[in-house]
Chains A and B, each alone.
Chain A
Amino acid sequence: MTTNPSEKTAGQTTWTPVPLLEDIKEHGRVWDDLATQYGVTNPDPPWKTSLDGMCDALGTGNCSPAMALEKKWLDGSIGRGAVEGAVALPLLERRWEEDELSETLYQDVPFPERQLLALTHSLIKRGLVSEQDLAKRIKEVHERLNAA
């Protein structure tokens, strides 16, 4: 399986689909469907706050020192390396990639499933998580949760 990064052409980003995430996008059941089927009134899936926690933990949140570094990078006062060394996935980059992915590859997926796919895509793109490891772990998680 390939985990190609995005390709930039003429100032525009073309996102390369990740087969594993495409499969989840196509076949995964979103919360709206599950909640309707099971009569659950919660507007958000139970994993939503954990996803929020993950985003915060990755970037240590908005307006953190890491974000301040990103702003300095944007205004040209420091180099990119200073930001990359501070956090694994800089917050602004994550949010901007989420913006782009939400309007391209994952445009037909509802929120927050779309946010989860975009975050995962960003992690795979950077090699922080491999598609192979992720596929294996998803299988294990399914087996574990359905073992009771």
Chain B
Amino acid sequence: MSHDHDHDHGDGLHKPAAMVEEVSDFEALEIAVRELAIEKGLFTAEDHRRFTEFAEHIGPTPAARMVAKAWLDPEYKKLCFSDSIKASLAVGVDWLNPTGFGTPSDYTDLRVLEDTPTMHHVVVCTLCSCYPRPILGFQPEWYRTPNYRRRLVRWPRQVLAEFGLSLPPDVEIRVEDSNQKCRFIVMPVRPAGTEGWTEDQLTEIVTRDCLIGVALPKPGVTSNIKLPVHKAVKPPHHH
């Protein structure tokens, strides 16, 4: 694996980024496990390369752009609800072939959940950590934890408040549980103060957290919350 670095283009404008100048035990472990797994035939080097390339190019921007486009274009907004697969194509994501090499690792139905002033959606996967990766990238750590997965369905209002999202009592909260067939993203209500904004400007404030439903878009806020990860009170025994 390459270390973190950038290329100096020789124009004096791009300074090389800092690099980590040592091989950690964890880096060596990842390489060793991978090499042994390939040698033992658990997967092929080619499959691993393709999945890794898929992992390297996914992120939350396509989903953010989908929401921004929908805010600006009522017809596109209708398409997001009637045919989210087609709507995804407009932001560069092909849900029918998400990895681009014929392995439908994430092929499921994408559903876009529309918030209203009196209805708020939030997404979870109570079983494991299913997530709309082709359009939203990888899950944040907290989304994977039993703590979030168990408590959100029982105390959604309180858990959202832990993220800093305190909703008025008259706003209904609907929790959607990702499953084998469906993945979800939330389309929040376009916030006040964004009148006249471009698609790019709007895309910037539709953060990953907004798309999961643990935050609301707000002018000036373009980053996600850093949440401390807590253990579940009861051990996560599944068997």
Contact = CB atoms under 8 A, between A and B. Distances in A.
Given A54-B30, A64-B103, 19 more contacts: A24-B26, A28-B29, A29-B26, A46-B3, A54-B43, A57-B42, A57-B43, A62-B128, A63-B107, A92-B238, A99-B145, A99-B146, A100-B235, A100-B237, A102-B145, A123-B37, A129-B33, A137-B32, A137-B36
A64 B28 contact: no
Given A46-B4, A54-B33, A38 B19 contact: yes
Interface of B: 1-4, 17-37, 40, 42-44, 47-56, 103-108, 127-131, 133, 138, 141, 144-146, 180-181, 229, 231-232, 235-239
B51 to A, nearest CB: 4
- Secondary structure at chain B's binding surface: helix, strand, loop or mixed? loop
Interface of A: 8, 11-13, 24, 27-31, 34-35, 37-42, 45-47, 49-54, 56-58, 60-64, 67-68, 71, 88-89, 91-92, 95-96, 98-100, 102-104, 107, 111, 113, 116-117, 119-120, 123, 128-129, 133-134, 137-138, 140-142, 145-146
12 contacts: A24-B25, A38-B19, A38-B20, A45-B26, A46-B2, A52-B51, A61-B103, A62-B128, A64-B105, A129-B36, A141-B31, A142-B23
Given A38-B20, A146-B23, A103 B30 contact: no
Nearest to A100: B236
B23 to A, nearest CB: 5
A132 B237 CA distance: 29
Given A34-B24, A62-B106, A64-B105, A99 B29 contact: no
Nearest to A95: B128
Contacts of A63: 105-108, 130, 180-181
B21 A38 contact: yes
A53 B180 contact: no
A58 B24 contact: no
Given A29-B25, A99-B146, A128-B42, A54 B128 contact: no
A129 B37 contact: yes
A62 B55 CA distance: 14
Contact of B18 (A39, A57, A117): A39
A135 B26 CA distance: 12
Residue in A141, A142, A146 with the greatest tally of chain B CB atoms within 10 Å: A141
Contact of A53 (B18, B19, B55): B55
A60 B36 contact: no
Nearest to A13: B237
B128 to A, nearest CB: 4
Contacts of A42: 4
Nearest to A103: B231
Contacts of A100: 235-238
A58 B33 CA distance: 12
